[in-house]
């Protein structure tokens, strides 16, 4: 849902207007770009860009040098002190550095500031904030993978450098140069990632403020505001990035940041020699392959920004910040992927530039190679960077997930369709929509309630007039296995007689202002306070609010949506909390801003796990704000988009970017949040949404009702078909989620990820593969388009999913697929086997015991196809105790046999079957469709062999015709899904 009203800021002055204004807001207003900072309005960003300009345009020597005698290396860790020379008389500041080499092959570079470690600094304004650089991001983000590599060793050391060999088969190398400080990370002897190559390392050390005497006022110069002329020295300082004007306080949009610690930014250049493409650092509304940011034709002029914000109708093709941040970047070139993870939760900017390197002795091949240079700038905290040397995209997502965790295994219903709007006006309205979806044969699993269900925006309450009977409503939904999601945000209405507010205040669980008293700001309920989810006691208290006897009217099928958790503060700077606010532990909001949303989301996730003693269900919580690690606790969506074709188009690269950045459970509001989509747009959006990992229709309060059955014919039927397609493929979606849970593989995969050596695919971001199915989708995102040109990444056969047509294709060519409004461009790559459930039902819960259909796509070689299916009870944690079925299906084309075996090679007798597994004995593979079966399959008998028995099945063969591939349909298989079996055609 939305916010950040363009009128924010005025509200403090005219509070009584609030309710009137918010209802008058028209959705046509687009984001006020000037409500959000540009780099040159963000003091530390501007300073570091100026520093970079100075460094790159002069003969420049980085003033950071490792003290040679400070070096030690022990148990996989290199430690030393970097001396930063701070003035012409050689005065230095000590910056301890640790380079850790981990068993996984990941390296980590951490730089701190000694004076601050020792608390030897003074804060201004009697601030109660902590003195250290923020060093707890790891505590929230990192869940594993930190074991040190005891095999790592110093391969060479002299006065100028230390070289450490590490990683699998010791083929990684970190060359640490002392003077100036520089690190070259190599794989197999070749440079992959360089730190401080361009000398942009900048750690703004703590310094005392020296009060300069007020400039003398000349006679006749009246006002204070008239700035004195800059002296030449001041101009020079500004050029060097030492412009002091934003060191001690900084104002923006009527708010002043008191900056009790003065300037404290950290910045570093990270170069990727020979890498032309970089990806990641979501969330931004732009192409998957990131653009250059230093101006010029087709480039951005501002760096990519990561500062979770409620941006309200975001603009497209922009490096502007959005609702969530993942500072994980991947660089890619033909056959190699490497990456960095910048573990810092403060406001961060990333400049990107590319350069043709004319002579690079380490790069093989001919001609100039393009290299990508990045410049990372954070406002505060440690410099803490993880380095991944690949070499495959899969290595990166796996290693990154080892550190930050993999996607939680969701409940199966969460992969179904979600019906949302701001707002369903009453419990009767909800029940009516529920009935209509059935009437129009549109499957769905979840209906959602936005803020209006509450009594005056007080969470954990219901509006007694419009929702008098939440339990009756919940029961009707439950009768078809459906769920309800209600919104609960982190702002708590500041009003007497509301127990949640009273407890929040009396227990001091709220975020504090810079003076240390409870912070008050404005959000949906008017005056509000915000829960400080960094506090363990506050999180424990939060959990008590969700107990069924505390949140009356909630039920086992009630789940939660956390919105506005950037946090959105209508009257705050950039619509969020002031940076000098204080959190649990004495940390400034500045240090933890990008983490806040995740800690709140996580607090809700954990609350749902404990709302009943012995709770067994996996929680479902949707979040708007997120950070690295949020994937462990729920799903995200891309925020408040618009009902416009370009927003539909933009959703696909955004979701692909989430996928490769460790948080694949993502979707965009189907139909567009603001505005009213034309029927064709709405239809196309459902077709695209059926391929989002998270599939939810949503609409703004001012938008016309647009439940899919209201679209009218032919639109409603086409949308119903898209919904049913999603539901029939649920077994394959669930299997893809399981893969993400196991090793971080994205659920929808871009071309560079699946075909890392096909250069022409590196910037393609409008088509993708679904899991391991070989399904290649290219949703139509342009009006009046009736065909799609799908780029073919390899020499495989591709079949149209719906017609089995095959077009002559070749690697690197585009094939035109017919796509009238009724059709989604969807191809099947040869060589796969994937599972479907073909009986249309009202919800995923009702499909639980249905038989499966397997689709086998014969590949170019005609010999081999394979795939897998993962299934568990779809709701509990019993899968962690072996209560799941994971099958591997293999086609032996020559022998014309298809077999099913345990994908993990488990011995069936080792699995103690609980109730669900026992019930699955009744579930079978009923049908197999072999697409592309040669004529040798015609008129053949079929035998099924399983569990020591064998029985016949039937086969129908349909020969090829008019561009359509031949196919064989094997029926009446009755092959148990959980058992080993073999189907032989002879």
Ligand X SMILES: *[C@@H]1O[C@H](CO)[C@@H](O)[C@H](O)[C@H]1NC(C)=O
| Residue 167 near residue 149, CB atoms below 8 Å | yes
Region near ligand X per CB under 6 A, out of 35-43, 88-96, 901-909, 937-945: 88-96
| Residue 636 near residue 664, CB atoms below 8 Å | no
Q: Which of 116, 421, 539, 724 lies at the binding interface for ligand X (CB under 6 A)?
A: 539
CB of 596 to ligand X, least distance (A): 10
Task: Report if residue 636 touches ligand X, rule: CB under 6 A.
Answer: no
Q: Which of 348, 575, 599, 651 lies at the binding interface for ligand X (CB under 6 A)?
A: 599
> What's the length of the chain?
986
| Residue 205 near residue 93, CB atoms below 8 Å | yes
CB of 490 to ligand X, least distance (A): 13
Residue span 121-140 as binding mask against ligand X, x where in contact by CB under 6 A, dash where not = -------------------x
CB of 208 to ligand X, least distance (A): 9
The one catalytic residue among 112, 313, 566, 875: 566
Tell me which residue of 97, 86, 92, 105 sits closest to 145, measured CA to CA.
Answer: 105
Region near ligand X per CB under 6 A, out of 63-71, 84-92, 611-619, 875-883: 84-92
Nearer to ligand X by Cβ, of 84 and 778: the residue is: 84
Structure tokens at 398: 């796996």
Task: Report if residue 785 touches ligand X, rule: CB under 6 A.
Answer: no
Nearer to ligand X by Cβ, of 531 and 598: the residue is: 598
| Residue 398 near residue 406, CB atoms below 8 Å | no
Region near ligand X per CB under 6 A, out of 569-577, 601-609, 756-764, 910-918: 601-609
Strand extents, DSSP E, 524-668: 526-530, 558-562, 621-623, 635-637, 666-667
Structure tokens at 321: 């910040």
Q: Which of 303, 443, 553, 629 lies at the binding interface for ligand X (CB under 6 A)?
A: 629
In the chain, what is the straight-line distance between the N-terminal and C-terminal CA atoms, in Å?
A: 58
Nearer to ligand X by Cβ, of 393 and 410: the residue is: 410
Q: For residues 721 and 727, what is the distance between their CA atoms, to the nearest angstrom?
A: 10
Nearer to ligand X by Cβ, of 243 and 873: the residue is: 243
Q: Which of 91, 120, 236, 947 lies at the binding interface for ligand X (CB under 6 A)?
A: 91
Nearer to ligand X by Cβ, of 586 and 812: the residue is: 586
Task: Report if residue 535 touches ligand X, rule: CB under 6 A.
Answer: no
Region near ligand X per CB under 6 A, out of 81-89, 273-281, 289-297, 686-694: 81-89
The one catalytic residue among 250, 351, 384, 640: 640
CA 472 to chain centre: 36
- Strand 852-857 with 832-836, pairing: antiparallel
Cα torsion 52, 57, 59, 64 to 10°: value is 0
Q: How many residues bind ligand X (CB under 6 A)?
A: 12
- Stretch (H or E) spanning 727: helix 715-728
Peptide bond before residue 567 is cis, with ω within 30 degrees of 0: yes
Region near ligand X per CB under 6 A, out of 211-219, 234-242, 595-603, 728-736: 595-603
CA 228 to chain centre: 47
- Stretch (H or E) spanning 94: strand 92-101
Structure tokens at 599: 């800690």
CB of 458 to ligand X, least distance (A): 24
CB of 404 to ligand X, least distance (A): 10
Nearer to ligand X by Cβ, of 73 and 140: the residue is: 140
Q: Which of 602, 683, 687, 946 lies at the binding interface for ligand X (CB under 6 A)?
A: 602
Q: Which of 178, 442, 598, 621 lies at the binding interface for ligand X (CB under 6 A)?
A: 598
CB of 638 to ligand X, least distance (A): 21
Q: For residues 432 and 441, what is the distance between their CA atoms, to the nearest angstrom?
A: 14
Nearer to ligand X by Cβ, of 400 and 734: the residue is: 400
Q: Which of 59, 72, 89, 169 lies at the binding interface for ligand X (CB under 6 A)?
A: 89
Task: Report if residue 806 touches ligand X, rule: CB under 6 A.
Answer: no
Structure tokens at 248: 């001690």
Task: Report if residue 510 touches ligand X, rule: CB under 6 A.
Answer: no
DSSP letter string, 195-241: ESSSS--EE--------PPPPPPPTT---S-SPPPPPHHHHHHHHTT
Region near ligand X per CB under 6 A, out of 161-169, 183-191, 598-606, 745-753: 598-606
CB of 618 to ligand X, least distance (A): 15
Task: Report if residue 565 touches ligand X, rule: CB under 6 A.
Answer: no
Tell me which residue of 117, 175, 190, 131 sits closest to 391, measured CA to CA.
Answer: 190
Nearer to ligand X by Cβ, of 283 and 599: the residue is: 599
Task: Report if residue 240 touches ligand X, rule: CB under 6 A.
Answer: no
Has 640 been annotated as catalytic?
yes
CB of 631 to ligand X, least distance (A): 11
Nearer to ligand X by Cβ, of 357 and 540: the residue is: 540
Region near ligand X per CB under 6 A, out of 85-93, 100-108, 486-494, 878-886: 85-93
Task: Report if residue 236 touches ligand X, rule: CB under 6 A.
Answer: no
Q: How many CB atoms lie within 10 A of CB 473?
A: 26
Structure tokens at 532: 């400080």
Nearer to ligand X by Cβ, of 37 and 539: the residue is: 539
The one catalytic residue among 184, 269, 563, 765: 563
Q: Which of 177, 480, 606, 971 lies at the binding interface for ligand X (CB under 6 A)?
A: 606
Q: For residues 445 and 414, what is the distance between their CA atoms, to the nearest angstrom?
A: 8
CB burial of 374-397 (b: ≥16 within 10 Å; e: otherwise) equals: bbbbbbbbbbbbbbbbbbebbbbb
Q: What share of the chain is helix, strand, coil (3-state, %, to 5)?
A: 25, 30, 50
Cα torsion 610, 614, 616, 621 to 10°: value is -10
Nearer to ligand X by Cβ, of 89 and 479: the residue is: 89
CA 37 to chain centre: 23
Task: Report if residue 88 touches ligand X, rule: CB under 6 A.
Answer: yes
CB of 658 to ligand X, least distance (A): 18
| Residue 636 near residue 626, CB atoms below 8 Å | yes
Q: Residue for token digits 């004495």?
A: 586
Residue span 882-921 as binding mask against ligand X, x where in contact by CB under 6 A, dash where not = ----------------------------------------
Nearer to ligand X by Cβ, of 571 and 623: the residue is: 623
CB of 586 to ligand X, least distance (A): 18
Task: Report if residue 549 touches ligand X, rule: CB under 6 A.
Answer: no
CB of 201 to ligand X, least distance (A): 20
Q: Residue for token digits 């230093």?
A: 294
Task: Report if residue 358 touches ligand X, rule: CB under 6 A.
Answer: no
Q: Which of 87, 223, 231, 939 lies at the binding interface for ligand X (CB under 6 A)?
A: 87
Task: Report if residue 486 touches ligand X, rule: CB under 6 A.
Answer: no
CB of 577 to ligand X, least distance (A): 17
Map residue 129 onto helix, strand or coil.
coil
Tell me which residue of 932, 933, 955 sits closest to 943, measured CA to CA.
Answer: 955
Q: For residues 457 and 963, what is the distance between their CA atoms, to the nearest angstrom?
A: 59
189 by Cβ neighbours in 10 Å (0-12 / 13-18 / 19+) ranks as: exposed
Q: For residues 430 and 423, what is the distance between their CA atoms, to the nearest angstrom?
A: 10
CB of 540 to ligand X, least distance (A): 7
Q: For residues 807 and 797, what is the distance between their CA atoms, to the nearest angstrom?
A: 8
Structure tokens at 114: 């000694």
Return the half-sphere exposure (C-beta side, CA atoms, 13 A cut-off) of residue 273.
21
* Residues with active-site annotation: 563, 566, 640
Q: Applying CB under 6 A, which residues contact ligand X?
A: 87-89, 91, 140, 539, 598-599, 602-603, 606, 629
């Amino acid at each position: 849902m939305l916010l950040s009203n363009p009128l924010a800021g005025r509200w403090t002055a005219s509070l009584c207007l609030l309710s009137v204004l918010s209802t008058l807001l028209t959705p046509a207003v687009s984001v006020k770009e000037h409500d959000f900072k540009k780099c040159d309005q963000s003091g530390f960003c501007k300073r570091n860009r100026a520093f970079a300009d100075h460094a790159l345009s002069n003969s420049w020597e980085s003033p950071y040098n490792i003290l040679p005698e400070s070096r030690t290396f022990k148990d996989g860790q290199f430690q030393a002190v970097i001396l930063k020379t701070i003035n012409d008389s050689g005065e230095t500041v000590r910056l301890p550095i640790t380079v850790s080499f981990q068993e996984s092959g990941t390296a980590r570079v951490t730089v701190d500031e000694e004076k601050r470690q020792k608390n030897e600094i003074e804060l201004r304004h009697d601030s109660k904030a902590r003195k250290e650089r923020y060093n707890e991001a790891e505590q929230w983000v990192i869940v594993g993978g930190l074991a040190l590599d005891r095999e790592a060793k110093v391969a060479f050391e002299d006065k100028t450098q230390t070289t450490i060999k590490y990683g699998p088969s010791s083929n990684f190398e970190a060359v640490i140069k002392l003077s100036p400080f520089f690190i070259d990370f190599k794989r197999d002897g070749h440079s992959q990632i360089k730190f401080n190559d361009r000398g942009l390392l900048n750690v703004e050390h703590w310094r005392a403020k020296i009060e300069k005497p007020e400039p003398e006022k000349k006679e006749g110069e009246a006002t204070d505001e008239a700035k004195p002329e800059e002296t030449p020295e001041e101009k020079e300082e500004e050029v060097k990035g030492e412009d002091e004007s934003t060191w001690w306080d900084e104002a923006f949009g009527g708010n002043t940041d008191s900056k009790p610690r003065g300037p404290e930014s950290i910045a570093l250049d990270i170069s990727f020699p020979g890498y032309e493409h970089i990806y990641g650092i979501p969330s931004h509304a732009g192409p998957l392959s990131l653009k250059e940011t230093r101006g010029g034709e087709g480039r951005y002029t501002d760096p990519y920004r990561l500062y979770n914000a409620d941006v309200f109708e975001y603009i497209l093709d922009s490096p502007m910040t959005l609702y969530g941040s993942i500072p994980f970047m991947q660089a890619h070139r033909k056959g190699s992927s490497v990456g960095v993870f910048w573990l810092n939760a403060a406001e961060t900017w990333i400049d990107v530039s590319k350069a043709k390197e004319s002579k690079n002795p380490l790069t093989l091949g001919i001609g100039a190679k393009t290299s990508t240079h990045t410049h990372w700038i954070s406002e505060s905290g440690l410099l803490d960077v993880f380095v991944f040397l690949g070499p495959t995209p899969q290595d990166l997502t796996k290693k990154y997930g080892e550190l930050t965790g993999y996607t939680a295994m969701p409940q199966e219903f969460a992969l179904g369709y979600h019906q949302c709007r701001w707002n369903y006006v009453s419990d009767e309205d909800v029940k009516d929509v529920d009935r209509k979806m059935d009437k129009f044969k549109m499957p769905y699993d979840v209906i959602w309630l936005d803020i209006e269900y509450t009594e005056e925006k007080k969470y954990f309450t219901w509006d007694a007039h419009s929702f008098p009977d939440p339990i009756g409503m919940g029961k009707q939904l439950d009768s078809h296995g459906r769920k309800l999601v209600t919104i609960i945000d982190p702002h708590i209405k500041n009003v007497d007689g509301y127990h949640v507010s009273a407890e929040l205040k009396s227990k001091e669980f709220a975020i504090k202002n810079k003076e240390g008293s409870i912070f008050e700001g404005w959000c949906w309920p008017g005056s509000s306070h915000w829960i400080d989810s960094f506090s363990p006691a506050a999180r424990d208290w939060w959990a008590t609010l969700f107990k069924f006897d505390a949140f009356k009217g909630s039920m086992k099928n009630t789940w939660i949506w956390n919105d506005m958790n950037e946090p959105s503060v209508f009257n705050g700077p950039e619509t969020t909390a002031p940076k000098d606010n204080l959190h649990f532990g004495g940390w400034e909001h500045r240090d933890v801003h990008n983490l806040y949303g995740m800690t709140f989301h996580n607090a809700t996730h954990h609350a749902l796990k404990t709302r009943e003693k012995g709770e067994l269900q996996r929680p479902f919580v949707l979040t708007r704000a997120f950070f690295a690690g949020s994937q462990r606790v729920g799903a995200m969506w891309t925020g408040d988009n618009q009902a416009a074709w370009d927003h539909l188009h933009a959703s696909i690269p955004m979701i692909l970017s989430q996928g490769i950045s460790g948080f694949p459970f993502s979707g965009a509001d189907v139909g567009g949040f603001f505005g009213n989509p034309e029927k064709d747009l709405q239809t196309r959006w459902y077709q695209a949404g059926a391929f989002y990992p998270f599939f939810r229709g949503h609409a703004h309060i001012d938008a016309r009702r647009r439940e899919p059955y209201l679209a009218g014919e032919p639109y409603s039927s086409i949308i119903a078909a898209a919904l049913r397609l999603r539901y029939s493929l649920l077994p394959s979606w669930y299997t893809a989620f399981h893969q993400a849970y196991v090793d971080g593989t994205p659920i929808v995969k871009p071309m560079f990820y699946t075909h890392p050596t096909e250069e022409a695919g590196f910037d393609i971001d409008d088509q993708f593969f679904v899991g391991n199915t070989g399904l290649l989708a290219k949703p139509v995102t342009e009006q009046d388009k009736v065909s799609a040109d799908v780029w073919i990444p390899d020499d495989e056969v591709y079949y149209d999913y719906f017609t089995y047509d095959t077009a002559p294709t070749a690697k690197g060519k585009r094939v035109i697929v017919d796509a009238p409004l009724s059709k989604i461009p969807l191809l099947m790559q040869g060589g796969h086997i994937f599972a479907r459930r073909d009986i249309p039902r009202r919800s995923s819960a009702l499909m639980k015991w249905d038989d499966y259909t397997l689709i086998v796509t014969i590949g170019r070689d005609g010999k081999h196809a394979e795939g897998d299916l993962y299934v568990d009870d779809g709701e509990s944690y019993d899968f962690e105790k072996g209560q799941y079925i994971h099958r591997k299906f293999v086609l032996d084309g020559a022998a014309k046999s298809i077999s099913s075996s345990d994908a993990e090679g488990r011995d069936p007798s080792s699995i103690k079957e609980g109730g669900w597994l026992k019930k699955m004995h009744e579930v079978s593979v009923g049908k197999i469709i072999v697409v592309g079966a040669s004529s040798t399959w015609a008129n053949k008998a079929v035998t099924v062999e399983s569990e020591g028995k064998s029985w016949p099945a039937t086969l129908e063969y349909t020969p090829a015709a008019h561009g359509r591939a031949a196919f064989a349909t094997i029926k009446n298989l009755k092959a148990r899904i959980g058992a080993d079996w073999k189907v032989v055609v002879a």
